[in-house]
Amino acid sequence: MPSDISVQAVVIGAGPGGYAAAFYAADLGMSVALVDPDTNPGGVCLYRGCIPSKALLHAAKVISESHDAGAFGVTFPAPKIDLDKLRSWKDAVVGKLTGGLGQMTKMRKITYVRGWAAFADARSLDVKLAAGGAQKLVFEHAIIATGSLPSKIPGLSTDSPRVMDSTTALELADVPGKLLVIGGGYIGLELGTVYAALGSDVSVVEMTDGLLPGADRDLVGVLARRAEKTFKAVMLNTKVTSLTDDKKGIRVTLEGEGVTGTPQVFDKVLISVGRRPNAKIEGLDRTRVKVTDRGFIETDGARRTAEPSIFAIGDVAGEPMLAHKASHEARTAVDAIAGKNAAFEPNAIPAVVFTDPEIAWCGLTETEAQKRGIKVDVARFPWAAIGRAITLDRPDGSTKLVVDPDTRRVLGVGIVGAGAGELISEGVLAIEMGALVDDVAMTIHPHPTLSETVMEAAEVFFGHSTHVYRPKRKP
Ligand code: FAD
């Protein structure tokens, strides 16, 4: 066994939580080790999540725009898809980014240990090295950033090459003729969009009564209308009760709204029914770290666990399971280790669904306000009334502000439309800065841009948006 490595901070897992923590701790002058089985840092986000999915969604966007251009007189021959080239390009995107992180790890003089960490006790790890053998790591502080794994459907047999999860779907082995996506959450819809653009007949089955449970229904409604064109079928209030692989394909029994008892046959099935925290770390029971009933590691506001030398961040430490939440928690945990007074207390964590159109929201949603009985005013601006949306031939959008009627503070922002994911940051900034709806209305936005919809939604609040006519209320 090589001699022990002794560091001030060790980070377990090199996703956007883990590598952000390791880099920041090194920038603050700590000696740092980062442990992960992959060749370079990146985690699920870069290798099997955000980045490969967005690379493929970019290709899907180009394909779908080439079809849509016919509406303004520009036609292209049907796109030819070189799947090997597309796959290599996606892999090259991942390689560039993860390779860059590897370089930065070296530049920061972080000890990168390729392997799987197990706790020996609350001050040391035994790492099973990817290259074989083991390495002892002694630490003053550890940050657990082991992320999450795809959830399974209890009772469904999924041991077939025709059944994919998000990881295998991103490998893009082929383009199935008929694909069933189980789960109408963001991962299923994003990957369904990719396969539909590449030529699959995609059907989506969702157990609840709507796509994207948790998002405001008015935003989802706009996506649902376009989804009718993108997907062959969207089956709501419907459950998959069995999957059987036979020679012709995968035979699926569905139960629910508008479904006959006859099994349907698909070439492939993608199971995307959510993600579960990955807190099953060997030896964790040799520490005082606690795990909740839902499998998340329990932490306080500084992301310290019940074991004072150990912190937890990212997907393993709670919802929302998003990369940017993980990397912000990383800073909180490292600040706490550095002895600063740190707490993770954001007013707004943005969520973006990169479908077509995109949906993005932050802060208080209308649904949440209703559920919690919070009195709010909602100001909506339809994209059909803004020049930029018309020039892009994408009037299918809407921007809304959720406002406190007494203080006029912006509490939440919701956007659906092409590029909503880029627009939402203005809402996050407004909420974090405690902006009033007046501030948003008075801020000059560049013309012609989609960002004007945020300003005009604020003007709608006051009843004098330039591009929306609202008859005066009778006194
Ligand atoms: P992860 O990125 O999950 O990384 C954890 C790392 O820990 C992994 O490399 C794992 O191998 C390693 N590890 C686990 N156990 C051990 C151990 N014992 N020892 C050493 N290493 C270990 N989020 C967004 O914000 N935007 C998106 O657009 C988006 N798209 C997504 C698309 C898909 C298809 C998927 C699957 C996820 C997507 N996510 C997205 C979610 C995002 O990937 C996660 O929220 C994010 O990766 C969580 O980061 P993390 O640092 O907590 O852990």
pLDDT at 137 exceeding the cut of 70: yes
Residue of 141, 447, 464, 467 marked active site: 447
Query: What pLDDT does residue 415 have?
Result: 98
Instruction: Provide CB contacts within 8 A for 339, sequence distance 6+.
Output: none
Q: In this predicted model, which residue has the larger pLDDT, 260 or 369?
A: 369
Does 473 have pLDDT greater than 80? no
Q: Report how far residue 323's alpha carbon sits from residue 42's, in angstroms, rounded to the nearest whole number.
A: 11
Nearest to 177 by CA among 216, 142, 151, 203: 203
- At 354, which amino acid appears? F
pLDDT tens per residue, range 231-272: 999 999 999 999 999 888 999 999 998 787 789 999 999 999
Instruction: List Cα–Cα distances, 391 to 356, 364, 379, 419, 450, in angstroms.
Output: 17, 31, 24, 14, 10
Q: What is the pLDDT of residue 158?
A: 77
Is 103 a residue whose pLDDT tops 70?
A: yes
The enclosing H or E element of 18 equals helix 18-27
pLDDT at position 45: 98
Q: Determine the pLDDT at residue 156.
A: 85
CA-116 nearest atom, ligand 1: 19
User: 3-class DSSP state for residue 73?
Assistant: coil
Distance 328 CA to ligand 1 centre (A): 14
Residue nearest to atom 15 of ligand 1 (CA): 146
Q: What pLDDT is attached to residue 157? A: 77
| Paired tokens of 121 | 């006790």
Residue 148 CA to ligand 1 centre (angstroms): 6
Task: For residue range 169-221, list pLDDT tens digits in order.
Answer: 999 999 999 999 999 999 999 999 999 999 999 999 999 999 998 899 999 99
**pLDDT tier at 308 (50, 70, 90 boundaries)?**
very high
Reported as a single tens digit per residue, the pLDDT across 36-94 is 999 999 999 999 999 999 999 999 999 999 999 999 999 999 999 999 999 999 999 99
Which residues lie below 8 Å from residue 115, measured CB to CB, with a gap of 6+? 35, 37, 127, 128, 129, 130, 131, 135
Q: How many CB atoms are closer than 10 A to CB 338?
A: 16
pLDDT at 28 over 80: yes
Question: Could you report the per-residue pLDDT of 211-236, keeping only the tens digit for each?
Answer: 998 899 999 999 999 999 999 999 99
pLDDT of residue 474: 64
> Could you tell me which residue, 7 or 159, shows the higher pLDDT?
7
- Mutation probe of ligand 1 site: the residue of 44, 47, 164, 334 with most atoms within 8 A of C-beta: 44
Q: 């064109």: which residue's tokens?
A: 229
pLDDT tens sequence across 393-451: 999 999 999 999 999 999 999 999 999 999 999 999 999 999 999 999 999 999 999 99
- Active site includes 447? yes
Q: How confident is the model at residue 472 (pLDDT cuts 50, 70, 90)?
A: low
Residues 362-388: what's their mean pLDDT? 97
**Number of neighbouring beta carbons within 10 Å of residue 74:** 10
Q: Measuring from atom 7 of ligand 1, which residue has the nearest CA? A: 13
User: 236 has which bridge partners?
Assistant: none
Q: Which residues line ligand 1 (CB under 6 A)?
A: 12-18, 35-38, 43-45, 48-50, 53, 116-117, 145-148, 166, 187, 278, 281, 314-316, 321-324, 326, 354
**CA pair distance 205, 237, nearest whole angstrom:** 8
Residue 275: is its pLDDT beyond 80? yes
Non-local CB neighbours of 470 within 8 Å, separated by 6+ positions: 460, 463
For the segment 101-121, the average pLDDT, to the nearest whole number, is 98
Residue range 453-461: mean pLDDT, rounded: 97
pLDDT(456) > 80:
yes
**Number of Cβ atoms within 10 Å of the Cβ of 235:** 21
Nearest residue (CA) to ligand 1, atom 23: 322
Residue 259: what pLDDT?
Answer: 83
- What is the pLDDT, as a whole number, of residue 159? 86
State in Å: Cα 386 to ligand 1 middle: 37
Ligand 1 centre and the CA of 14: distance in Å?
8
Query: In the prediction, which pLDDT does 292 show?
Result: 97
Q: Which amino acid is at 225?
A: R
Q: In the predicted model, what is the mean pLDDT of residues 110-116? A: 98
